[in-house]
Structure 1
Amino acid sequence: MKNMGKTGLFTLSACALAVFTATAQDQNKTENTKQSGLEVIEVTAQKRAENAQETPISMNVLNASALKEKSIEKIDDLQYAVPNLHMTETGISTQIFIRGIGTGNNQGFEQSVGQYIDGIYYGRQQLLRMPFLDLERAEVLKGPQSIMFGKNSVAGALNLSSAKPTQDTELHFSLQHQPKFGATELTGMASGSLTDTLSARIAVRDYSEDGYIENTFKDRDETIRDEQAVRLSLLWEPRDDMNFLFKVERDEFDGTGRQIEIIQDDPALAGSPIPGVNFEQILGILGHPGAITDSKLDFVRQADAEESSTNTLNNATLTANFELGDYTLTAVSGLVSYDFIETCDCDYTAAPVFSVFIDEEYQQFSQEIRLVSPVGEQFDWLGGLFYQTSELDFKDDIQVPTNSVLGLLSGGALAPITGNGAGRSYQLDTDMWSAFFQGRYHFTDALTLTLGARYTSEEKTASRSMNITNTATGAIAEDPMAAILFNAAFGIENEQSPLSPQGHNLTGARDESSFTPLINVSYKLSQDVMAYASATTGFKAGGFDARANNVNSWEFDEEDATAYETGIKSLLLDKTLEINLSLYRTEYDNLQVSQFDGILGFNVGNAKETVVQGVELEGRWMILDNLTMQYGVAYLDHEYKDFKNGNCHNRQIPDGVIGADGNQLCDYTGKSGQYTPKLTGNIGLDYFTETSLLGFEYFRGTLGLYHSSKQNVDVNLNPLYEVDAYNKVDVRVALESENWNVALFGKNITNEKVLTYVGNAPLSGSTFGTNTFYGFVDRPAVYGIQVDYNF
């Protein structure tokens, strides 16, 4: 598979097509007398409601009941129900990957996997942490989605749909409690008509949690979470040929502490300030014994500085639909704004070394207008215009407290930096518009040709500056040695340092455009078996680095993708067995990457050539009338074909090109990227039957299994953190009636210890000489109870 090219990909596809053709022909010979079968799932992946099995793209879909039964409350949970999907938090951002392609640590990046909620783009990293609320459906679309969703979906898209107001009265209340971690979730929903033409829906959520990592220094569990959300939707249908859906939502999600611990601590080498001892011992020598009490994955950490994350999100969306004869005109207007303030004990120890303060604000307005032709004609189409403008204001401050152990190193040579901080200010303004069109020509009832294209034009202006300031007053640091030492010791070029005659006050502008075409051919082998093949392109605009500490890492280039996919979607055995197979190959030019610089920053760049290819198989099977299985398995082959400019991990011998700052980099050509397990898969079983137990009417049991093969989770691809394969098991049993449901559930009952992100502890290698790693740790086994009331 490693060397499988386009020819091999389509040869495999042809073989699979022959097998399915024979199966379909055999099925057509049998009279279909059974009326029951799998539930039809409608999706909006192509901007109109249609059967998922008739949509010729690779996707995974979970409806509202599936989300509830799998206890999926956020994207972090969704990854264990969808192969080839990965999501993680890091010290300063959040990342999501599909088929091994995602976006690294940098506020200057747009996400490679676009998140869309009710047609509105939620592309900023912090918004991926937002909890789900009263969703109707979650669609995970894989591969470039450039025509329908635009440039921000070069790896795929999450298409989330909120539940809509109903004319009939509906009430729902839910209580979920996980006693082990003190987690309690309360949700409520009320929907119904206000008048003959106006209906409303209100949904609320309150969540609190004590956390699952023990901070022994502060004698508390972390991350302590406190989250609230409220959404009001109004649906006005003044006439049969028009309707208006207005939604306003506010989310607040706050956290105290982090799910981070030191997981490895190797001694310093000769030539280090204190050679032969590890980071834990060095901090003890400097007066802070117990700053690290162990260096293994055991859900225990030590951190002294206060850590918090305060997030507020506001959204207003207006969707208007007008029937113009047989055509439908839709206008979607959206306002999204958020702000978050975060403090990070980013040395990840209980010693005073340094901390980071982050303040980010974002505002976005978007407008889409599209016209959709009637279906059922030989030629149907949709087309539209899209406009989006946004403003980002990002500030962070690397603060060294007055009692920092850094002041004790090298005979006090670094003492002038204590009590001071390196403050960064970054602004990014973006204006973008695009026009798109997609048409389908049905040569026969079986054969359809789809052609599409999107033209995008985008302008960006950005600025970034670094200043050394007094952390107590905010004024420019009085001692000029502070600016010099921040520059010399930590590589932070700044406006005050004479070692940086160019200073650190950057501005830039980009004006670029792209044309992304698509061709897709689908053929129905029978009423319930469809084969398809497609070729498309993807594009993500270039931009400006927000997180680097040196002026040479500033502008990065646009990213292009060319994708080929072929597959089969089928319903067999009297519509009780769904088998969907896809084979894909995507070639990325100038893939945008961000890697830790080994000190205190992240540098961005472009990997010249990257190829991802593989096979995905997913579907459902109604084994019995009351027993259904959902399954998915994915094989992924990810390879950097030309990536000679990667940032080296600690103690790696440079073997790449010379970087912009004059230092030699590392060659990652031939390697796989972060979050690229060869094999991922899941199986879900749902058993439903009548019962009279305790006065309930039905019993439901669900079992979920997830597997991931080994993968590298280190941001700089350190081979030490190619973590082993693991398996997760979830289980849920419920008693249900017309109004009441009571369920007991367990998640990760195998108690797997899963690292979701690993990096070198900042300054541990560059300043102290050790090889020390921190890791983000996923939840251990958790058990809970859920009670629902429906009316």
Structure 2
Amino acid sequence: MTIKTAKAHRVGMALLAFSIAAASHGQDNLTLEEIVVTAQKRPQSLQDVPLSVSALGGEKMDAAGLNNLEAVSTYVPNFSINQTGISTTISIRGISSGINQGFEQSVGMYVDGIYYGRAQLARAPLFDMERVEVLRGPQGILFGKNSIAGAVSQTSAKPSQDFESRITALYEPEHGEKDLRAVISGGLTDDLAGRLSVMKRDFDGYVDNTSTGKKEPAADEWLVRGQVRWDASDNLALGLKLEQSQFDVSGRNIEVIGDTAGETGVGLSTVYPIFSGGEALDADQNGKRQANGDTSENKTHNATLNIDYQWGEHQVTAITGLAGYEYDELCDCEYTGLNTFTLGLDEAYRQWSQELRIVSPVGEALEYIAGVFYQDSHLEFHDDFNVPTTSALTAVSSALAGYNSQRFFEQDSQLWAAFAQATYHVNDQWSLTLGGRYTTEQKTASRFSQSSTQAPNPDVIPGVTLLDLAENVLRAEPHSEAGKRDEDSFTPLINLQYQISDSAMLYATYTTGFKSGGFDVRSNASSDPAVGVPGAVTSALGQPPSPVGVFEFEEEEATSFELGAKTSLLDDRAELNAAVFRTEYDNLQVSIFDGGLGFNVGNAAAAISQGIELDGRLRASESLTFTAAIGYLDFEFTDYDNGECYFRQAEFEPDTVTNAALDMCSFDGKRQAYTPELTGSLITNYQHQFQGGLVLNADLDLIYSSEYLASPSLDPRLTQDAFVKVNARLALAATDGFWEIALVGKNLTDEAVLTYGAEVPTSATLVGAATGQQGLAYYGFYDRPRSIALQARLQF
């Protein structure tokens, strides 16, 4: 179980204090290794970048076994990635995109300079990286597209003329994890270098599916990346990267974690005793589930051509990118062993982009970056909702027997942008930076929905068929829509820096950001009120009115202020950085429950995200180094009247109900889900060289989070308590680096961490139909429990 909240708060606050206090025990003349980042599109020391950035090196990622961005996010304060039933949510400082395939992410993802805006790409394997940088706050100038909450920049390890090769193998017996990785890099000719990176990972899972007798989620992943770099002349260099990956998953890390039987007297367990998880609401996660099978098959591919030309003292860079993916999923989306419905989803996406920029030399009174950007993309999405003739839902209405609903969506997008950022060094202490980006985008889209039934389809009443009734019960109606939208935006930036000394810098930043509008993929109904199930269903059969859907939604906007400091201490043996921020978000794109099985997108929310972020490093001795970070987040919805009510909210908080018929409640004054007040990490590295040619390398990582709500409906029943995760690695290696063998432990205190939770779909409907009373069940995604793996590496 997780530790108590109060105790965890004390531990979290102590993370940074511990590393700073240790400074008094260090030795003299020890300096930290410089961290170089490209957060401003040119190599810079992290201490010279006037914004809140966290950077994680590839060596640390490999050592800690961080296989994807979700694992990386646990090490970075105010940054989280959470998988939901049919999507992935990426959040920085509490801002994220809702669950809709029409959304691009509020956190822009960039891989080797190429924009990855789709949520599914966050699940791709991560391997052989130089570093990952997390830039917090709107990044509207140099990164630009939709990076309204922040940006994640991933940089692959590059080819080198020096020969390098390594093979790494990992085996973890408890969950059946087998991971094999190989890298070879070196000069092919005097001016041509290449690099080949290959990985294969298999994982059996850690949740017992008692329906299938298998472990879940079982993963099968592989990645192949080939790169070449050609130094064509003293002034011209070209780099080409080709990459393909596949990550297939069978099952999910989902458990039904309780129902309302202990609260209201009825729940899903009292109606259908076979379902898994009929414990009280405060029941522990038990590592078991019942489900009829979930699968997710994913393929990604990308190609990047990078051309660098030294034009006098200026550098001109052209980056051409092709990227795409396909996935096919089958979701048993009521997450129990009941036979109710299945949902199939498939999506295909491709994009190509071109960026051209010029970077001035450093050291001049005026330094600048300017460029243009173009992107063309195409999206196809299809889902298939099916109710078998033997479904338990037929107890609600016989009209649902054999019901099928399919939805088809296509979208094309073309985007142009021009950007510039200039820094004028007024004198040795003061610098002023001004920047701006102008973006124009055109989108065209279409959505088509159709329904059918295997059962006979007679008229229930004149003009109203049985299929009409089924569509009304599920609040889904056949329709067809098409549209086109054009929008443009200008996002400015003003930054002022003051260099107090060679070891201390202060900065203040004002910037804005936006996320483009678009088209709703998953709305179940037409946006035209005239389209719908005949009104006689409402008047004669007592059914709710036919819903009005959504097809188009508008852009989000953000205004941000940040004050920060970058300092070096103790003769460069320590660093301490701080940032204080406040960002106001307007017209947030949110998914609003339609009262049935779907959600409608609307610009229906405003919020304020503010807080403090601290990070630092300390080299306490020649052998011992500490890295610490902590983030405090104060998040509040200031205008959100259309949130989904949690179960019995009308009883507990009657003043918050805004639309009882559609089960809508106000979120004003509340925190967003996945927004813990405090997050932090403490990374300790100890190295010791023995006589005889052996090196001991020990890492101890503490990952802290205060409590947070894990449900998009902000249901207090689905609260994750504060916790501290402990990861560790103990390695013994040859002094020359030829071999290394290590034990890698993750979540050593075996914390049961709930990353996402919600009501089991249709459970309230089934309980109500069977008993006439209120009751339902809940499900949750849980992180991996304790694991200890053996890792070995050979490096030639």
Tell me the residue number matched to 2:534: none
1:609 deviation in Å? 2.2
Cα distance 1:302–1:415, how it changes in 2: closer, same or farther (>3 A)? farther
SS across alignment from 1:456 = strand
Tell me the residue number matched to 1:90: 84
On the 8 A contact 2:399/2:470 being kept in 1, the answer is no
2:557 corresponds to 1:560: yes
Q: Deviations over 1:410-452 (max 9, x none)?
A: 5xxx233222311111112111110000001011122211110
1:94 deviation in Å? 0.6
On the 8 A contact 2:268/2:278 being kept in 1, the answer is no
Show the 5 A alignment for 1:275-354.
277-284=266-273, 289-290=274-275, 292=277, 294=279, 296-354=283-341
SS across alignment from 1:181 = coil
Tell me the residue number matched to 1:765: 764
The 2-side partners of 1:527 and 1:301 are apart by 57
Show the 5 A alignment for 1:59-458.
59-267=53-261, 277-284=266-273, 289-290=274-275, 292=277, 294=279, 296-407=283-394, 409-410=395-396, 414-458=397-441
1:293 deviation in Å? 5.7
Deviates most, 147-156 or 550-559: 550-559
Unaligned 5+ runs, structure 1: 1-22, 24-32, 271-275, 496-503
Letter in 2 for 1:134: D
On the 8 A contact 2:257/2:277 being kept in 1, the answer is no
SS across alignment from 1:321 = strand
The 2-side partners of 1:198 and 1:470 are apart by 62
On the 8 A contact 1:146/1:538 being kept in 2, the answer is yes
2:517 corresponds to 1:542: yes
Unaligned 5+ runs, structure 2: 1-19, 21-26, 527-548, 769-774
1:465 deviation in Å? 2.1
The 1-side partners of 2:410 and 2:470 are apart by 23
1:548 deviation in Å? 2.2
On the 8 A contact 1:598/1:766 being kept in 2, the answer is no
Cα distance 1:64–1:478, how it changes in 2: closer, same or farther (>3 A)? farther
1:35 deviation in Å? 5.2
1:165 deviation in Å? 0.5
1:268 deviation in Å? 11
Cα distance 1:308–1:696, how it changes in 2: closer, same or farther (>3 A)? farther
Cα distance 1:477–1:324, how it changes in 2: closer, same or farther (>3 A)? farther
Deviates most, 461-470 or 739-748: 461-470
SS across alignment from 2:620 = strand
1:707 deviation in Å? 1.2
Percent of aligned pairs with the same residue?
A: 43
Show the 5 A alignment for 1:667-682.
667-682=666-681
TM-score normalised over the length of structure 2: 0.89
2:771 corresponds to 1:787: no
On the 8 A contact 2:211/2:292 being kept in 1, the answer is no
Give the one of 532, 557, 571 matched to 2:507: 532
SS across alignment from 2:378 = strand
On the 8 A contact 1:252/1:313 being kept in 2, the answer is yes
1:723 deviation in Å? 2.2
The 2-side partners of 1:403 and 1:667 are apart by 38
Show the 5 A alignment for 1:4-23.
none
Letter in 1 for 2:551: W
The 1-side partners of 2:566 and 2:169 are apart by 38
Q: Deviations over 1:315-353 (max 9, x none)?
A: 000000111111111000001111000000101111111
1:727 deviation in Å? 1.1
Tell me the residue number matched to 2:492: 517
Tell me the residue number matched to 1:601: 598
SS across alignment from 1:102 = coil
Letter in 2 for 1:341: D
On the 8 A contact 1:105/1:595 being kept in 2, the answer is no
On the 8 A contact 1:729/1:749 being kept in 2, the answer is yes
The 1-side partners of 2:663 and 2:696 are apart by 63
The 2-side partners of 1:534 and 1:291 are apart by 52
On the 8 A contact 1:170/1:192 being kept in 2, the answer is yes
On the 8 A contact 1:353/1:406 being kept in 2, the answer is yes
On the 8 A contact 1:585/1:612 being kept in 2, the answer is yes
Matched length: 733
On the 8 A contact 2:523/2:551 being kept in 1, the answer is yes
Cα distance 1:649–1:567, how it changes in 2: closer, same or farther (>3 A)? same
Letter in 2 for 1:69: A
Cα distance 1:787–1:664, how it changes in 2: closer, same or farther (>3 A)? closer
SS across alignment from 1:147 = coil
RMSD between aligned alpha carbons?
Answer: 2.2
SS across alignment from 2:357 = strand
2:625 corresponds to 1:628: yes
1:297 deviation in Å? 4.0
Cα distance 1:431–1:486, how it changes in 2: closer, same or farther (>3 A)? farther
Q: Deviations over 1:141-169 (max 9, x none)?
A: 00001101113210011101000001111
Letter in 2 for 1:367: Q
On the 8 A contact 2:405/2:451 being kept in 1, the answer is yes
TM-score normalised over the length of structure 1: 0.89
Letter in 2 for 1:726: F
On the 8 A contact 1:468/1:477 being kept in 2, the answer is no
Tell me the residue number matched to 1:459: 442
Tell me the residue number matched to 1:729: 726
Cα distance 1:314–1:439, how it changes in 2: closer, same or farther (>3 A)? same
Tell me the residue number matched to 2:747: 748
Letter in 1 for 2:761: P
Q: Deviations over 1:295-314 (max 9, x none)?
A: 64434343342210000001
On the 8 A contact 2:701/2:728 being kept in 1, the answer is yes
The 1-side partners of 2:750 and 2:741 are apart by 24
On the 8 A contact 1:607/1:640 being kept in 2, the answer is no
The 2-side partners of 1:134 and 1:339 are apart by 23
1:652 deviation in Å? 2.6
Tell me the residue number matched to 1:487: 471
On the 8 A contact 1:222/1:257 being kept in 2, the answer is yes
Cα distance 1:577–1:478, how it changes in 2: closer, same or farther (>3 A)? farther
1:481 deviation in Å? 4.5
Cα distance 1:478–1:729, how it changes in 2: closer, same or farther (>3 A)? farther
Tell me the residue number matched to 1:777: 782
The 1-side partners of 2:672 and 2:494 are apart by 29
Cα distance 1:425–1:123, how it changes in 2: closer, same or farther (>3 A)? same
On the 8 A contact 1:305/1:355 being kept in 2, the answer is no
Letter in 1 for 2:100: N
The 1-side partners of 2:512 and 2:617 are apart by 30
The 1-side partners of 2:160 and 2:76 are apart by 30
The 1-side partners of 2:410 and 2:261 are apart by 40
The 1-side partners of 2:604 and 2:43 are apart by 38
